[in-house]
Structure formats: structure tokens, C-alpha cells
Amino acid sequence: MKMDPENFAIETFLFCQITVGMFGNSSILFYYIILILTRKHLTPKDLIIEHLTFANSLTIVLRGFPQTVTYFGFKNFLDNMGCKLIVYISRITRGMSLYTMCLLSCFQAITISPSNSRWMKLKYRASKYIGPSCSLSWLVHLLLNILTPLRATGPSYKKNATNRLSYGYCSSFASGSVETTLYILLVCFSDALCLSLMACSSVSMVSILYRHKRHVKHIHSAQHFLKVSPEDRATQTILILLCTFVISYSFSSIVAVVRTCLNYPVIWGVNIFTFLEIFFPIFCPFVLITNMKSSFSLFLPCVGKK
């Protein structure tokens, strides 16, 4: 075991990120566990956030901890099976984060739509299927990423070194076969579909909020206008999460493409890719806690204080 002094700052920063992110996600998971144990009713939005937080926690553990262990000098601590399992589950959690964010944004857009809108009729139907759809999505992503472990190996693998992309604790291979190309196109199509729905719902929420504020401004006094409704606050929170998610997702995809196209290992590419992948799971819980602080004050008194 030998720790590289040049990576000490990166190691410390990444470790602090993981610790903070796990604290935030664990707080939300603990909050929902308490609600379940006390048999409190969970709203559809709560169910979505529960699945999102669980996926984010797994992403931090599976992407952050192995990279941190590698930086601290531990090499070859995973065999081929362990590497395949980590890469497979991390791909599933990445897809679930994308799906749940898409579902959350679409559901919130329907929730804040005017009562006379046709979308409002879908609210009651959608509420019944939120829980089952989240559970079914885990199965869908299990099947969608079924080929991912085939391209992953442990770091000690020596064959086909020219086609190997190393993450330090694991490796993956680029394949030019037709089957792999079709599989990648399928995954990209599902990701693009979710991102498109997120963009449409975001535009819809911004439009609804703008019209609502103009309507309230002409009816109520300025003092009342300054009050933010729970729906508006929740929508603003989701818009912040959407912007953060899209930026993090886009940049991580760009870095992944650049690293794949290069023929030699790039250490900074690994560092930036890991940072971008776990940035949203770390940032997300604290934005949610800010929106849920009135409820969190029952369990975390320090959060509820102004």
C-alpha cells in the first residue's frame, strides 16, 4: 500500500464529499423510516423522493468509496466479480436517479397545474401508480443494464490493454460490435427521453409560476404577494434540482466520452468524472431538507431553526 502525495488534496476533498453526502441522504432515509414505522401516510412525492434518495446513497457508496480507497493506495482490492457487481449496480442507480427526477418533475408540473386544466385530471390517476412505477423501474433498469457487467473487469486484468479504460479500482472495455452499438443507442434513447420530459415539465412549471404570480400580484396586496405557497416553494426546489442534475449529468457524459476517445489513461479525467457523478447525489438531499425543514424539525431540531 502506497499513497501518492500528489493526490492527497483530491483524496481529502473526495472523502469529505462522501461523508457530507451520506449524512444528508441518511437523514432523509431515516426520516422516511420513522414515518413508515409510525404508519404515517406517504404522499406520492414522498415515495418518489424515497426512491431518489436510496438511489443517490447507492451511487455515493459505489462510485465514491472505491475511488477513495484507490487514491489512498489500496490496489486490486476487487476481483472481477466484485468489479462487475459494482459497475452493474452503479449503472442501475444512475438510471434510477434519472427516472425518479423525471417522474418528480412531471408529477410536480401536474400538481401545480390549474384546477380547470386537463392535466389536473391525471393527478389522481398518477397518484395511484407512483409507488408501483418506481418499484417496476428498478426491474426495468436491472434488465436494461444487463450487458454492462460483460464489459467490466478487475484492475488486474492484463489482456487487450489497448481497449481498456481504467478507473483505478476497475476497468471496462470499448467494443465496436453491432450488438453493443444497438445496446448503447437503446440506453441513450431512454436517457434522452427522460431528459426531454424533464425539460418540458420544467418549462411548464416556470410558465405556471409566472402566470400565477402575475395573477396574484393584481389581486392581492404586496404584503400577501411576498408569501410563498408550499406548492411554489416545492416547485422552486425541484427546478433547482433539475438544473443541478442536468448540468452534472451533461458534463459527466462529456467527460466520459472524452476519456473513451483518448488512447491513454487520463488521471484528471477519472477525478473529474467521479466528482461530477457524485455531485448531484451529495447536493440533492440538502436542497430537499431545506424544502422539508418544517417536517424535519420534528426529528432534527437543528434543521428547523431559522
Give the residue extent of every domain in the chain.
Answer: 5-213+225-304
What is the spatial distance between Cα 48 and Cα 170, in angstroms, rounded to a whole number? 31
Q: How far apart are CA 161 and CA 64, in angstroms?
A: 25
Pairing outcome for strands 164-166 and 152-153:
unpaired
Q: Which sign does the torsion angle of CA 212, 217, 220, 223 carry? A: positive
C-alpha distance across the termini of the chain, in Å: 47
Q: Report H helices in 39-119.
A: 44-59, 65-71, 80-111
Q: Which CATH class for the 5-213+225-304 domain?
A: mainly alpha
CB 64 within 8 A of CB 19: no
Burial category of 239 from C-beta neighbours within 10 Å (exposed 0-12, middle 13-18, buried 19 and up): middle
**pLDDT tens track of the chain, all 306 residues?**
455 555 667 777 778 888 898 999 999 999 888 888 888 888 888 899 999 999 999 999 888 888 777 766 666 777 788 888 888 898 899 889 989 988 988 888 888 777 666 666 777 777 788 888 999 999 999 998 887 887 777 666 555 555 566 666 677 766 556 666 777 777 778 888 888 888 888 888 888 877 776 766 655 544 444 456 666 777 777 888 888 888 888 777 776 666 655 554 455 556 677 777 888 889 888 888 887 655 555 444 444 444
Rg (CA), the chain: 21
Going edge to edge, which strands form the sheet with 152-153?
152-153, 171-173, 164-166
Retrieve residue 214's grid coordinates: 402575475
Q: What is the DSSP letter of 165?
A: E
Determine the Cα–Cα distance for residues 226 and 28; give it in Å rounded to an integer. 29
